[in-house]
């Protein structure tokens, strides 16, 4: 991080959920259906810049019907996790990288940027207040959702002049068990997620709203997620729903990882970047090279592509077992998690849970308030 936190957060404690009820929720967290006691909010206006930073009880916003975010879609978000460490500390995974991506989304959407140090300070403020919400079981984690919306009340079709930044948190279900269940991907050749020059590289709300129709189609074809193809030719693989894709190519020289390059139409996943770095440590060569849907199918049929996995913050690494398209379907390998996928997943989780040295300086330790330890 190249800046110093400037915001001072006022703090108002929430009436915490009774410890027993919290324990019940932590024992069986879903994803995004349970929230911790507090939230962080910070306001921005053209005159005052960032101001009114606070940590307070989680509460509903009151929005005027002409709030610009509701009409023109200036909304961006991030998603990252905090993990319980063997020494009782909590640690955020690569928060500065999420700060940088948040700001690049903000620039694309003509929204104000938040200094990286303030973004990280906001995450830490929530984690300090809600440290008891970080589950203590490997695989479980605390998901933080920073986001920003255009908060000005106006119907002018232009960038807003007031914004609201907030962070909420939610305990999250196991990222993956030792052998995560392989997913089935639906190759959509009808819709596109992003086109060159568009917003595909930004984590902005509209990208998701525009993709749900294909997700529905995927579900109708008994698939878990969509694999998106490029807008121009509908041939090149881009990514899968909210995750990036990796292919394991095997030859007499051993396995090699291949992933589509950051062309501007896919989201630059922090998990993707982490895997590119971990692969080096584990001795797997990596290539950021385009791959067509046909080459993927041929590669699988001929045994050149032996594994494929999806990666993202929410589920870490998940193997892809089958691919389905309007033309037919095929299996990747024998349809189960392969050895390279499993090794990368273990290496990633070991780093996150503090069981392996943090060689890349990814973990940011945060001391939190705890009721009891």
Tell whether residue 313 is a contact of ligand PLP (CB under 6 A). Answer: yes
The separation between CA 200 and the C-alpha centre of its own chain, rounded to angstroms, equals 14
Closer to ligand PLP by Cβ: residue 72 or 208: 208
Tell whether residue 259 is a contact of ligand PLP (CB under 6 A). Answer: no
Q: Which of residues 68-87 bind ligand PLP (CB under 6 A)?
A: 79
Q: Can you tell me which of 22, 90, 140, 203 binds ligand PLP, judged by CB under 6 A?
A: 203
Q: Which residues contact 242 (CB under 8 A, 6 or more apart)?
A: 208, 267, 312, 314
Closest contact distance (angstroms) between CB of 17 and ligand PLP is 27
Closer to ligand PLP by Cβ: residue 277 or 298: 277
In total, the chain counts a number of residues equal to: 373
Closest contact distance (angstroms) between CB of 210 and ligand PLP is 11
Tell whether residue 271 is a contact of ligand PLP (CB under 6 A). Answer: yes
Please identify, among the stretches 113-121, 146-154, 240-248, 256-264, the one whose residues bind ligand PLP according to the rule CB under 6 A.
240-248
Q: Pick from 206, 270, 215: which is nearest to 241 by CA?
A: 215
Q: Can you tell me which of 248, 270, 320, 345 binds ligand PLP, judged by CB under 6 A?
A: 270
Q: By three-state DSSP, how is residue 339 classified?
A: helix
Please identify, among the stretches 52-60, 268-276, 337-345, 359-367, the one whose residues bind ligand PLP according to the rule CB under 6 A.
268-276
Q: Do the beta carbons of residue 44 and residue 162 sit within 8 Å?
A: yes
Q: By three-state DSSP, how is residue 6 classified?
A: coil
Q: Pick from 24, 16, 18: which is nearest to 56 by CA?
A: 16
Closer to ligand PLP by Cβ: residue 244 or 341: 244
Count the residues of the shown chain that bind ligand PLP, applying the rule CB under 6 A: 13
Q: Can you tell me which of 115, 146, 242, 260 binds ligand PLP, judged by CB under 6 A?
A: 242
Closest contact distance (angstroms) between CB of 268 and ligand PLP is 8
Closer to ligand PLP by Cβ: residue 50 or 353: 353
Closest contact distance (angstroms) between CB of 220 and ligand PLP is 21
Q: Which residues contact 133 (CB under 8 A, 6 or more apart)?
A: 22, 26, 36, 37, 142, 169, 171
- Residue carrying the six token digits 């984590």: 203
Q: Do the beta carbons of residue 118 and residue 125 sit within 8 Å?
A: no
Which two three-digit tokens encode residue 235? 């041939």
Q: Can you tell me which of 244, 259, 322, 368 binds ligand PLP, judged by CB under 6 A?
A: 244
Task: Give, to the nearest 10 degrees, the angle between helix 270-282 and helix 339-352.
Answer: 110
Q: Can you tell me which of 239, 249, 297, 307 binds ligand PLP, judged by CB under 6 A?
A: 239
Q: Can you tell me which of 75, 199, 215, 243 binds ligand PLP, judged by CB under 6 A?
A: 243
SS3 letters across 215-257: HHHHHHCCCCEEEEECCCCCCEEEEECCEEEEEEEEECCEEEE
Q: Which residues contact 214 (CB under 8 A, 6 or more apart)?
A: 186, 188, 190, 191, 193, 226, 228
Tell whether residue 312 is a contact of ligand PLP (CB under 6 A). Answer: yes
Closer to ligand PLP by Cβ: residue 121 or 267: 267
Q: Pick from 117, 103, 144, 96: which is nearest to 368 by CA?
A: 144
Other beta carbons within 10 angstroms of residue 372's beta carbon come to 5
Other beta carbons within 10 angstroms of residue 214's beta carbon come to 20
Please state the φ and ψ torsions of residue 117, each to the nearest 5 degrees.
-65, -35
Please identify, among the stretches 133-141, 158-166, 237-245, 286-294, the one whose residues bind ligand PLP according to the rule CB under 6 A.
237-245
Closer to ligand PLP by Cβ: residue 34 or 215: 215
Tell whether residue 267 is a contact of ligand PLP (CB under 6 A). Answer: yes
Tell whether residue 237 is a contact of ligand PLP (CB under 6 A). Answer: no
Residues that bind ligand PLP (CB under 6 A): 79, 203, 239, 242-244, 267, 269-272, 312-313
């Amino acid at each position: 991080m190249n800046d110093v936190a400037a915001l001072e957060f006022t703090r108002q404690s929430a009436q915490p959920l009774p410890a027993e009820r919290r324990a019940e929720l932590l024992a069986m967290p879903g994803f995004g259906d349970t929230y911790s006691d507090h939230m962080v909010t910070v306001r921005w206006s053209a005159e005052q810049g960032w101001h009114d930073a606070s940590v307070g009880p989680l509460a509903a916003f009151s929005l005027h019907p002409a709030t610009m975010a509701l009409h023109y879609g200036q909304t961006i978000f991030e998603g990252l996790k905090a993990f319980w460490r063997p020494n009782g500390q909590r640690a955020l995974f690569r928060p500065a990288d999420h700060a940088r991506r948040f700001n690049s989304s903000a620039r694309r959407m003509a929204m104000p940027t938040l200094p990286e140090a303030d973004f990280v300070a906001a995450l830490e403020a929530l984690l300090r207040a809600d440290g008891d919400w970080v589950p203590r079981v490997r695989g479980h984690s605390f998901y933080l959702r920073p986001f920003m919306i255009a908060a000005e009340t106006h119907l002018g079709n232009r960038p807003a002049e007031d914004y609201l930044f907030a962070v909420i948190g939610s305990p999250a279900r196991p990222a993956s068990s030792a052998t995560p269940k392989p997913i089935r991907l639906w190759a959509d050749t009808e819709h596109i997620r992003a086109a060159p020059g568009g917003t595909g590289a930004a984590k902005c709300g509209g990208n998701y709203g525009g993709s749900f129709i294909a997700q529905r189609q995927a579900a109708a074809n008994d698939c878990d997620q969509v694999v998106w193809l490029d807008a121009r030719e509908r041939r090149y693989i881009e990514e899968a729903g909210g995750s990036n894709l990796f292919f394991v190519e095997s030859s007499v020289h051993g396995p090699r990882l291949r992933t589509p390059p950051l062309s501007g139409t896919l989201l630059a996943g922090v998990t993707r970047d982490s895997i590119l770095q971990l692969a080096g440590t584990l001795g797997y060569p990596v290539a950021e090279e385009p791959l067509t849907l046909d080459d993927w199918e041929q590669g699988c049929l001929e045994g050149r592509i032996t594994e494929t996995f999806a990666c993202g913050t929410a589920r870490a690494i998940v193997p892809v077992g089958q691919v389905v398209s309007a033309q037919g379907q095929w299996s990747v390998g024998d349809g189960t998690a392969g050895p390279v996928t499993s090794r990368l997943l273990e290496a990633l989780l070991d780093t996150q849970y503090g069981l392996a040295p943090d060689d890349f300086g990814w973990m940011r330790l945060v001391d939190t308030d705890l009721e009891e330890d």
